[in-house]
Amino acid sequence: MIKDYDIYIISDSVGDTAEQVARAAAEQYKDADYEIKKHPYVESKAKIDDIFESIPNKESLVVYTIVSEETTKYLKKICNEKGLPCIDIMGPCLSTFSDFIGQEPARESGVIRKLDEDYFKRVEAVEFAVKYDDGKDPRGILKADIVLIGVSRSSKTPLSMYLAHKNYKVVNIPLVKGAKVPEQVYEAPRKKVIGLTIDPSDLIEIRRERIRVLGLDSGVDYVSIDKIIEELDYAEKIMRQVGCPVIDMTKKAVEEAANLIIDIINDLN
């Protein structure tokens, strides 16, 4: 019975999957000690040769996740020549998927790593949207992918969050009559700035509901139709000065508006 052995993890990506599977299996054998030796980003025969030259005359086995057929065949050949047992983690899985889907795999290495990168970009974008929500810090304007401007309750924040989940860094700036518009709004590239407008009658209903939820006085200027029209006129003036595209949010779902914004941004790039 083997008491001490090495597990060689060979992967064309990070190798975490192969390591986790190998470790889970190895832990089932309590009387045998093992050491993991991981070799990530192995994508050539030369690298495989280097790895096997370093393997001592000690009991060892190889666990690998490699999607290239050519590299996999070479690795199996070397293992057979050296009498080393090897375990292909990806091969049987890809074969079953291919039979099920009726399509050959792309055999692209590092796919999970790319998915992880997308995930962290999305988290970064969400954190960015929260940090610069509602004009908290105008310094974010020049760092943003998209800058939304509009009056209160024109869906700036919901749009910011939705777009953040699409990996866009978004700043939203409220346009309030009597309050200075941050200079960065005028300095930002026109292709990044999107104005949001909305029908006054719809906006007053949205604001009334907001007032009701907050338990505030329904007689405030915030829900005055005259004041709302003044605000919208002021916002429209600012948008003309900025020279940005304007989207009418009346009866428009956030998803629909977000897709329009993405189309505008892509068309202008």
**Was 151 annotated as part of a binding site?**
yes
Q: Please give the Cα distance from 252 to 106 (Å, whole number).
A: 39
Q: Please, which contacts does 135-140 make with residues 24 or more away whose CB atoms are closer than 8 Å?
A: 135/172, 135/173, 135/174, 135/182, 138/173, 138/182, 138/183, 138/184, 138/185, 139/184, 140/171
**Was 152 annotated as part of a binding site?**
yes
**Was 102 annotated as part of a binding site?**
no
**Was 65 annotated as part of a binding site?**
no
Return the H-helix or E-strand segment holding 119.
helix 111-131
CB 6 within 8 A of CB 34: yes
CB 166 within 8 A of CB 262: yes
Single-letter residue type at 177: K
Helix axes of 156-164 and 111-131: crossing angle, nearest 10 degrees: 160
**Was 54 annotated as part of a binding site?**
no
Here the tokens at position 263 are 């189309």
**Was 156 annotated as part of a binding site?**
yes
Question: What three-state secondary structure class fits 106?
Answer: coil
**Was 157 annotated as part of a binding site?**
yes
**Was 98 annotated as part of a binding site?**
no
Instruction: Mark 134-162 as b/e (b = at least 16 C-beta within 10 Å).
Output: ebeebebbeebbbbbbbbbbbbbbbbbbb
Here the tokens at position 15 are 């190798």
* Residues placed in the known binding site for ADP: 150-157
- Residue list, annotated binding site: 150-157
